[in-house]
Amino acid sequence: MNADLIIDQIEQIFPDAKCELIHDTPFQLLIAVVLSAQTTDASVNRVTPALFAQWPDSQSLMNADIHDVEQAIRTIGLYRTKAKNIVLLAKALHEQFDDQVPSTFKELQSLPGVGRKTANVVRSVAFDIPSFAVDTHVERVSKRLGLAKVEDDPLKVEEKLRRKVSRARWNQAHHDMIFFGRYFCMARNPKCNECPFADFCKKDKLVAYQQAKKEKQNKEANEKEG
């Protein structure tokens, strides 16, 4: 099925998909996205209201005691590294960007803890620049729906989505696919019985590929040990 038609169908299921990370400013969005690496938006949203109440902007966060920041975010994964990164990030914003979140890819990616996915989310959500951030949901959904190959890395998935989905839809399509992956086509127990894409879904192919990859990695690890 054509990518735009797939997005149309997902929008029928989720007509109001949007960024679920709590934030009031581009700075708070940037911090929330950095904190969301390898953890859920829900767990980030549990810590950010208090975090932003205490340190709402780069000038306050750059002067925060790192141990206080660690305590404020200790319930999320990798909190020590993330605490260090967001304080350094606030400092870099103050010193290099006049306390303003930049909008170019190059500038965003120069900041501590900011990779391609984070830069794409910030450009899309804070600045409405057409972007296609590929997180775990977007990657899985793209592969199950045949919009990318099972062996594609996130960058390859992003390139394919940018080619196949109309540019004017990128920003919304990103949210649509996240909602579809988070609430319908979940990693475990997806709602296949109700799915409009079941006829051409590549879930089994993706599972077989992931299993074979894992077995190969285990075999290589065992050979190294032996």
Using CB under 6 A as the criterion, which residues of the chain lie in contact with ligand SF4 when the complex forms? Answer: 144-145, 184-185, 190-192, 195, 197-198, 201, 203
Does residue 18 have an active-site annotation? no
Nearest residue (CB) to ligand SF4, 50 versus 198: 198
Catalytic residue among 18, 91, 99, 117: 117
> In whole angstroms, how close is the CB of 188 to ligand SF4 at the nearest point?
10
Contact partners, residue 68, CB within 8 Å, separation at least 6: 54
> In whole angstroms, how close is the CB of 85 to ligand SF4 at the nearest point?
33
The answer to whether the beta carbons of residues 35 and 85 sit under 8 Å apart is no
Does residue 24 have an active-site annotation? no
| Cα R_g (the chain), whole angstroms | 19
> In whole angstroms, how close is the CB of 86 to ligand SF4 at the nearest point?
34
Nearest residue (CB) to ligand SF4, 91 versus 203: 203
Nearest residue (CB) to ligand SF4, 54 versus 211: 211
Catalytic residue among 135, 143, 176, 202: 135
Nearest residue (CB) to ligand SF4, 129 versus 201: 201
> In whole angstroms, how close is the CB of 28 to ligand SF4 at the nearest point?
32
Nearest residue (CB) to ligand SF4, 134 versus 145: 145
> In whole angstroms, how close is the CB of 189 to ligand SF4 at the nearest point?
9
* Active site amino acids: 117, 135
